[in-house]
Amino acid sequence: MPASLDAHMVLSLFHLAFVVPLFLYVGYQRADTPRWVYLSLLSIGTLVGAYHAFKLIRRWYSGSSLWVNAIHVFLVAPLLAYIGYHGKDTPRSAYELLLMAGFGAGGYHLFQLVKSLEAWPEPEKRVLSKLGPSYLHSMY
Protein backbone atom coordinates (compact mmCIF):
# COMPACT_ATOMS: atom_id res chain seq x y z
CA MET A 1 0.00 0.00 0.00
CA PRO A 2 1.43 3.42 -0.93
CA ALA A 3 2.54 5.63 1.94
CA SER A 4 1.14 8.81 0.40
CA LEU A 5 -1.09 9.97 -2.41
CA ASP A 6 0.76 10.27 -5.69
CA ALA A 7 -0.33 12.47 -8.60
CA HIS A 8 -2.01 9.60 -10.46
CA MET A 9 -4.06 8.62 -7.43
CA VAL A 10 -5.18 12.22 -6.88
CA LEU A 11 -6.10 12.47 -10.57
CA SER A 12 -8.18 9.29 -10.37
CA LEU A 13 -9.91 10.47 -7.20
CA PHE A 14 -10.67 13.83 -8.82
CA HIS A 15 -12.21 12.17 -11.87
CA LEU A 16 -14.23 9.76 -9.71
CA ALA A 17 -15.46 12.47 -7.33
CA PHE A 18 -16.21 15.30 -9.78
CA VAL A 19 -15.89 14.48 -13.48
CA VAL A 20 -17.80 11.18 -13.58
CA PRO A 21 -20.76 12.47 -11.51
CA LEU A 22 -20.95 15.62 -13.68
CA PHE A 23 -20.98 13.61 -16.92
CA LEU A 24 -23.57 11.16 -15.60
CA TYR A 25 -25.77 13.93 -14.18
CA VAL A 26 -25.85 15.93 -17.41
CA GLY A 27 -26.21 12.80 -19.54
CA TYR A 28 -29.14 11.62 -17.44
CA GLN A 29 -30.86 15.00 -16.96
CA ARG A 30 -30.46 16.08 -20.58
CA ALA A 31 -32.60 19.19 -21.25
CA ASP A 32 -33.56 19.42 -17.56
CA THR A 33 -29.98 20.41 -16.78
CA PRO A 34 -29.76 23.96 -15.33
CA ARG A 35 -28.43 26.69 -17.63
CA TRP A 36 -25.42 27.42 -15.42
CA VAL A 37 -24.24 23.82 -15.86
CA TYR A 38 -24.23 24.27 -19.64
CA LEU A 39 -22.13 27.42 -19.26
CA SER A 40 -19.79 25.48 -16.97
CA LEU A 41 -19.48 22.68 -19.54
CA LEU A 42 -18.57 25.19 -22.24
CA SER A 43 -15.90 26.70 -19.98
CA ILE A 44 -14.58 23.32 -18.84
CA GLY A 45 -14.47 22.06 -22.43
CA THR A 46 -12.47 25.10 -23.50
CA LEU A 47 -10.01 24.82 -20.60
CA VAL A 48 -9.60 21.04 -20.94
CA GLY A 49 -9.02 21.42 -24.69
CA ALA A 50 -6.40 24.15 -24.25
CA TYR A 51 -4.58 22.39 -21.41
CA HIS A 52 -4.44 19.01 -23.12
CA ALA A 53 -3.49 20.54 -26.48
CA PHE A 54 -0.51 22.15 -24.76
CA LYS A 55 0.38 18.84 -23.07
CA LEU A 56 -0.10 16.95 -26.35
CA ILE A 57 2.38 19.20 -28.16
CA ARG A 58 4.92 18.90 -25.32
CA ARG A 59 4.58 15.12 -25.26
CA TRP A 60 4.84 14.93 -29.05
CA TYR A 61 8.24 16.63 -28.98
CA SER A 62 9.47 14.66 -25.96
CA GLY A 63 8.39 11.33 -27.47
CA SER A 64 6.07 10.48 -24.57
CA SER A 65 2.74 8.69 -24.75
CA LEU A 66 0.05 10.87 -26.34
CA TRP A 67 -3.17 8.87 -25.99
CA VAL A 68 -4.61 10.46 -22.82
CA ASN A 69 -4.08 13.98 -24.12
CA ALA A 70 -5.35 13.07 -27.59
CA ILE A 71 -8.58 11.64 -26.14
CA HIS A 72 -9.15 14.85 -24.19
CA VAL A 73 -8.32 17.13 -27.14
CA PHE A 74 -10.25 15.29 -29.86
CA LEU A 75 -13.14 13.71 -27.94
CA VAL A 76 -13.80 15.06 -24.43
CA ALA A 77 -13.21 18.79 -24.91
CA PRO A 78 -15.21 19.12 -28.16
CA LEU A 79 -18.09 17.12 -26.66
CA LEU A 80 -18.22 19.31 -23.55
CA ALA A 81 -17.99 22.51 -25.59
CA TYR A 82 -20.67 21.26 -28.00
CA ILE A 83 -23.12 20.40 -25.22
CA GLY A 84 -22.31 23.62 -23.39
CA TYR A 85 -22.83 25.72 -26.51
CA HIS A 86 -26.10 24.10 -27.61
CA GLY A 87 -27.54 23.92 -24.09
CA LYS A 88 -31.09 22.60 -23.95
CA ASP A 89 -31.10 22.15 -27.76
CA THR A 90 -28.35 19.53 -27.60
CA PRO A 91 -29.27 16.38 -29.54
CA ARG A 92 -29.82 13.14 -27.65
CA SER A 93 -26.76 11.51 -29.24
CA ALA A 94 -24.44 14.02 -27.55
CA TYR A 95 -25.94 13.24 -24.14
CA GLU A 96 -25.50 9.53 -24.79
CA LEU A 97 -21.86 10.08 -25.76
CA LEU A 98 -21.41 11.99 -22.51
CA LEU A 99 -22.92 9.07 -20.58
CA MET A 100 -20.54 6.67 -22.33
CA ALA A 101 -17.61 8.95 -21.52
CA GLY A 102 -18.74 9.11 -17.89
CA PHE A 103 -19.01 5.35 -17.53
CA GLY A 104 -15.73 4.86 -19.38
CA ALA A 105 -13.91 7.39 -17.22
CA GLY A 106 -15.41 5.84 -14.09
CA GLY A 107 -14.28 2.35 -15.03
CA TYR A 108 -10.83 3.48 -16.10
CA HIS A 109 -10.12 5.62 -13.03
CA LEU A 110 -11.55 3.07 -10.62
CA PHE A 111 -9.28 0.45 -12.17
CA GLN A 112 -6.27 2.79 -11.89
CA LEU A 113 -7.12 3.52 -8.27
CA VAL A 114 -7.37 -0.19 -7.42
CA LYS A 115 -4.05 -0.80 -9.18
CA SER A 116 -2.36 2.03 -7.28
CA LEU A 117 -3.63 0.66 -3.97
CA GLU A 118 -2.21 -2.74 -4.94
CA ALA A 119 -5.56 -4.26 -4.01
CA TRP A 120 -5.38 -6.49 -7.08
CA PRO A 121 -2.44 -8.89 -6.55
CA GLU A 122 -0.08 -9.75 -9.36
CA PRO A 123 -0.24 -13.30 -10.70
CA GLU A 124 2.12 -15.62 -8.81
CA LYS A 125 4.38 -16.28 -11.80
CA ARG A 126 5.27 -12.58 -12.12
CA VAL A 127 5.97 -12.31 -8.39
CA LEU A 128 8.23 -15.37 -8.51
CA SER A 129 10.06 -14.04 -11.58
CA LYS A 130 11.21 -11.07 -9.51
CA LEU A 131 13.21 -13.50 -7.39
CA GLY A 132 15.38 -14.33 -10.36
CA PRO A 133 15.76 -17.08 -12.96
CA SER A 134 17.70 -19.38 -10.64
CA TYR A 135 14.77 -19.58 -8.22
CA LEU A 136 12.35 -20.41 -11.04
CA HIS A 137 14.66 -23.13 -12.42
CA SER A 138 15.02 -24.72 -8.98
CA MET A 139 11.22 -25.05 -8.79
CA TYR A 140 10.96 -27.11 -12.00
The pLDDT tens digits for 17-55 are 999 999 999 999 999 999 999 999 999 999 999 999 999
**How wide is the angle at C-alpha 84 spanned by C-alphas 26 and 30, nearest 5°?**
30
* Buried/exposed code over 104-134 (b: 16+ C-beta within 10 A; e: otherwise): ebbeebeebbeebeeeeeeeeeeeeeeeeee
Number of domains composing the chain: 1
Q: Is residue 97 part of a domain?
A: yes
Among residues 12, 8, 9, 39, the alpha carbon closest in space to that of 26 is found at 39
Structural domain of residue 115, as residue ranges? 7-139
Q: Is residue 1 part of a domain?
A: no
Q: Is residue 68 part of a domain?
A: yes
Q: Is residue 43 part of a domain?
A: yes
The pLDDT tens digits for 69-125 are 999 999 999 999 999 999 999 999 999 999 999 999 999 999 999 988 876 666 665
Q: Is residue 111 part of a domain?
A: yes
Q: Is residue 2 part of a domain?
A: no
Q: Is residue 71 part of a domain?
A: yes
Q: Is residue 98 part of a domain?
A: yes
Whether pTM > 0.85 for this model: the answer is: no
